[in-house]
Structure 1
Amino acid sequence: MWSVVLLWLSCVPAGLQAAAVYRRDVPHQKVEVYSVTLDCTVTSRFAHTVMTSKALNKANSSQEIFFDVDLPKTAFITNFSMEIDGQLYVGNVKEKEKAKKQYDKAVSSGQTAGLVKASGRKMEKFSVSVNIAALSSVVFTLTYEELLQRKLGHYEILTRVKPQQLVQEFKIVVNIFEPQGLAFVEAEASFLTNDLLLLVDKTVTDKKAHISFTPTLEQQRTCPGCEGSIIDGDFIIKYDVKREKSLGEIQISNGYFVHFFAPPDLPRVPVNVVFVIDRSGSMSGIKMQQTKEALKAIFDDLHEEDHFALIIFDNKIIKWRKYLSKATQQNITAAQSFVKRIKDNGSTDVNSALQEAVKMLKNGHRKNTIPERSTDMIILLTDGNPNSGESSIPVIQKNIQAAIAGNMSLFCLGFGNDVDYSFLDVMARENLGLARRIFEGSDAGLQVQQLQSPLLLPGNLA
């Protein structure tokens, strides 16, 4: 299933024709890509990447030019622009349904639009095309960001490079800064020969690393005199930070701070979690399907010593059970069957549903039906658009913060491109949690995996 995001390029002048972005591998004998550069800066596991490509139409007539980039699913685009003969056009991301309509309108009216499409479990493809006048040039600039996830003992920066032709200026530059210290840094690529391996320049100090790869035009050739490029595949950097027995590392920037910690040999603390599931009419279709996928992914990661409950809501509240149940396989199977039968209906009373979740956790402790030494949390799954009961977002945030009173964590999974993410993000951060978007058309289970450590392993974060 394709996930479509439109990047609308405003103020496109007359004469720029929208391209058929569905065509691929079209030979451009008179279109020269003379520069491809990738500049990535990583600070405390947060990667900021800028990819720039410059192309020239050397023909005496207009030519269609494509810009395709594969980027990690966990990354998010923060900027896209095209500079055509000195004129800058900046893209705006549109929500999915509006994007479809505006994309069709763009094509029919001769304007330029871009698409983001799923292309596997780990990557997505961003594509845009534009007709360039004779002897004119275009500069594409794509900026995306990503919070790196530690898997199999390391962090990974994955860059897929496929210029499909020899490039006058080809450059990959990565700078890493980890205040905690670097344990190791490795660079590899699927296309690296022994000769090209020598071109990877790597400098590593205690806290910083610089990696660059800048092959010349001749070094890119598949053979002497050949026009084909050997640069075709994945360029991967793997690294890890030093993990000493300490209270961790605090990073402070722009008035915010992040605490990284990974205490070794710490026993897991049981979790008491109430899932608050929005089934209102706005959650119909793909949102409800993804909600069920996300719940399955989280259920699979529960431990038997954990306890859980399910609340579904629209303008009314329905409980799976009146109390939290132990996460035995029998109870998990019963909960999954209940989730499969959820149907979208009604309006959205977020405030009452969350208040009820808080009461369930408090009652569980009061009646000693959940372990005394355990961690309490609420996971809200919604598109974040309250329109029933208390609908004022500031009031809801204030009410929930007062009810939780710092005694439990609230995590919010926001579904759909039209989710009111700022509402969920603020409410989660005010209550010792975090929020995450679940994008339409993408693998909800895979996206939730990025949250499973902080959600379900509070006693042993990695």
Structure 2
Amino acid sequence: MRERERVSALLLLLVILLGASLFQNQISQNLTSPGSKVLSDGGKIDPFEVSIQGSIVDNYANISYCLFYDNYASETASEIEWFLGLQSELRLSNISVELGSKIYWGRVLPEVQAIEIYNESVEANKSAVLVQRYEDGYAIKMNVESGAEVLLSVFVEGLLTRHSGLYSLSLPVGRNGIENTGFAFSLEIISNFAPVTGFSVHGLPNIVASDLSSGIRLEYTADTLTIEERIEVIYTLDRQTGGAQLLAYNNGSENFFVYLLAPSIVEDVESARRQYVFVLDRSGSMSGIKIQQAKVAFNTMIGGLRTIDTFNVIAFDHEILKLWNEPHSGTTTNIQDAQNWINSISARGSTNFHDAAISGLLTFAEGANAKAMLMLSDGLPTAGEIQSPEGILSAIAEANTLDISIATVAFGSDSDENLMANIATQNNGFFVFIEPDEDASTELLDFYRIFSTPVADDYEIIFSGAFEVVSLSPLRESAFFNGTEIVVSGRYIEGMTVTTSIDYVTGTEIYTNTIGGATQEYEHVEFIWAQQRINYLLKIIKLHGENETLRSQITSIGMQYGIAVGGYTAMVLTAYDTSSIEEDPVDDYTYPSPSPPATHITYAAPIAPPAFDSSLNIVSSSMVFGILGLVVIILLVSRNRRG
């Protein structure tokens, strides 16, 4: 009996020793396996310091964001997610990470490949950044390796265009802003065209302004600052008269050009004859405050019509109702009849958005009048032949043969802002969103001043000598709006001339610009062309569908010029990529080339951190347990033989 008890005790000891050995080996594998994921779900960190600095030179913005992250004391990696919702004129041009004495630069690859590389970096506990382009901005992910301090720099650039006589630069600080963070801001606005006559800054408590020889410098610093979402800088130039500018650039093999056209800013009495169609949603989803706001907005806008203008009104739910069969002039009687008709309607039924939009476009008559359609809705289609946003956008683009400018007003927090905004963006219009608690008439005042004051009946632009012209705005039969600009880019061989004729109410103005061989002074011209070319190809895909040629062109241009295009390319940066490292980082963070630096160094893998040394002790302990287990087995075998 005692013998059996001894054997049982030895067997129990054996099980304990072997279990301990397996447990220790598992810990050792988790610590030393190169494929294990070190990222912790809870390892989120915020920047302890943020700076935004840059310049606007002749309306071309060059901005850098610098965000400092400290993960030095952590034993696990941390992942940062940041969304940068940039205005349409701007693009994210590059990223960099400063880690120790080295700077790593981003590179653009096919999107799937970039995602794979980023995930591999996360698995390897290496700092990495992934930038993906979405319709409303850039999603930035950064993995900060354990035991590291990292400086993330994000570079943004683009040509600002005039709207209602003003230039605006919107600088987002993520969807949720920053809270109690050290902050520095510095921006120079320089103009060689005309003096800077005024500016305003929103989002910062105060600003220090100083004069420069050709502009101003705006600065702000704070030890701790909380910003909700964005900083906005608005400025104006002493340039009310119309004008055109032709810039060219040679990259060593090709000539690129950018043509900027700004009509004169005129008084409302001098603006062009207008033909309007107002389309108002009266479906059930517009019930309550929405329909009330829409009626207020309609009454505010229609009250400014002139007798030389013509208009018609459409109200829709699942059915389409038109006030008149033919457009009527903007007399006091006709305006009052239209207001009474709209005030009498109530919200009911489903939403046939597609048929309402197409009916509105078909209401317009051909002619020299400036044409504009205004849609007031929550943009939530529930009826009709086509209900998907993509299908509606495509149908509108196909039906808009007269290049009618479509402005949209979205009501309510549940509205489809993307549909409404895209209708305006893709049809040379304007978009505004009205919150439920906002005064619709006040919010729409500035919007209506833009929408209601086209300054030209017609205009024509002729490019001689250019073999490629890219414009996102129609170049014929479309109204200029007061204080706006048009930007056209392209390529030419030796020399070119641009002749523009604008038919104002007060007469015709003609601008002629000629240029010969290009210089290498305006490097940004090529990047404007690349971005416009991609946008043009994306517009073709929306209208006619994608094919391999279009996909290949977008991917090729995106990779060559460092442009992230949603669904095609993405930007990635990895801390173990030896092809994108720069030694001895400089303090001056100016705009870098979109490609990695030409001179590279060989980066040796760092020595394993001390944390991994503890695994040696664990492995040694498991070996001891294994040896003890072996001794127990030998003793058991020896005892059995004796028995």
Q: What is the TM-score with the length of structure 1 in the denominator?
A: 0.54
Conservation of the 8 A alpha-carbon contact between 1:310 and 1:319: yes
Q: Structure 1 residues 348 and 392 mapped into 2: Cα distance closer, same or farther (>3 Å)?
A: closer
Query: Is the radius of gyration larger for structure 1 or structure 2?
Result: 2
Higher relative contact order (CA closer than 8 Å, sequence separation 6+): 2
- How big is the shift at 1:71? 8.6
Return the letter of the residue paired with 1:87. Answer: A
Q: What's the RMSD between the two structures over aligned residues?
A: 5.7
- Aligned to 1:181, what secondary structure does the other structure show? coil
Cα distance in structure 2, aligned partners of 1:285 and 1:454: 28
Cα distance in structure 1, aligned partners of 2:337 and 2:62: 43
Question: Pick from 15, 26, 30: which aligns with 2:39?
Answer: 15
Conservation of the 8 A alpha-carbon contact between 1:39 and 1:173: yes
Cα distance in structure 1, aligned partners of 2:299 and 2:453: 13
Return the letter of the residue paired with 1:17. Answer: D
Conservation of the 8 A alpha-carbon contact between 1:297 and 1:449: no
1:374-421 per-position Cα deviation (integer Å, ceiling 9, x unaligned):
7543334575989638979777645541xx3x7xx4324386255287
1:29-428 superposed matches below 5 A: 33-39=48-54, 41=56, 43-44=58-59, 49-60=63-74, 86-91=127-132, 93=134, 134-137=146-149, 139=152, 141=154, 167=182, 171-176=184-189, 178=191, 180-184=193-197, 190-191=205-206, 197=208, 202-205=211-214, 209=215, 211=217, 213=219, 229=223, 239-243=235-239, 246-250=241-245, 257-265=259-267, 267-269=269-271, 271-277=274-280, 285=285, 293=293, 296-297=296-297, 299-301=299-301, 302-303=303-304, 305=306, 307-313=310-316, 316-323=319-326, 324=328, 326=330, 328=332, 330-331=336-337, 333-338=339-344, 340-341=346-347, 343-346=349-352, 348-349=354-355, 352-359=358-365, 375-380=370-375, 383=379, 388=385, 397=397, 399-401=399-401, 404=402, 409-413=404-408, 416-419=416-419, 425-426=425-426, 428=427
- Aligned to 1:349, what secondary structure does the other structure show? helix
Cα distance in structure 1, aligned partners of 2:184 and 2:452: 41
The residue aligned with 1:461 is 482
The residue aligned with 1:119 is none
- Aligned to 1:388, what secondary structure does the other structure show? coil
Question: Pick from 429, 454, 460: which aligns with 1:435?
Answer: 429
Conservation of the 8 A alpha-carbon contact between 2:354 and 2:385: yes
- How big is the shift at 1:321? 3.8
Return the letter of the residue paired with 1:211. Answer: R
Return the letter of the residue paired with 1:52. Answer: C
Q: Structure 1 residues 448 and 295 mapped into 2: Cα distance closer, same or farther (>3 Å)?
A: farther
Return the letter of the residue paired with 1:259. Answer: L
Larger fraction in helix: 2
- How big is the shift at 1:61? 5.7
1:323-368 per-position Cα deviation (integer Å, ceiling 9, x unaligned):
5364647446425425653643347336751354125xx7xx9xxx
Conservation of the 8 A alpha-carbon contact between 2:199 and 2:234: yes
The residue aligned with 2:506 is none
Cα distance in structure 2, aligned partners of 1:351 and 1:397: 11
Cα distance in structure 2, aligned partners of 1:278 and 1:32: 45
Conservation of the 8 A alpha-carbon contact between 2:282 and 2:291: no
Return the letter of the residue paired with 1:377. Answer: A
- How big is the shift at 1:90? 2.3
Cα distance in structure 2, aligned partners of 1:275 and 1:299: 11
- Aligned to 1:419, what secondary structure does the other structure show? helix
- How big is the shift at 1:461? 2.0
Aligned residue pairs total 359
Unaligned runs of 5+ in 2: 1-36, 98-121, 249-255, 411-415, 456-480, 484-643
Conservation of the 8 A alpha-carbon contact between 2:90 and 2:159: no
Cα distance in structure 2, aligned partners of 1:136 and 1:204: 42
Conservation of the 8 A alpha-carbon contact between 1:291 and 1:381: no
Return the letter of the residue paired with 2:67. Answer: S
- Aligned to 2:187, what secondary structure does the other structure show? strand
Unaligned runs of 5+ in 1: 1-12, 21-27, 96-112, 115-127, 221-228, 366-372, 429-433
Return the letter of the residue paired with 1:337. Answer: N
- How big is the shift at 1:267? 2.0
1:209-266 per-position Cα deviation (integer Å, ceiling 9, x unaligned):
3625376xxxx5xxxxxxxx2767898756421235x433456797775532334556
Identity of aligned residues (%): 11
Cα distance in structure 1, aligned partners of 2:385 and 2:91: 33
- Aligned to 1:259, what secondary structure does the other structure show? strand
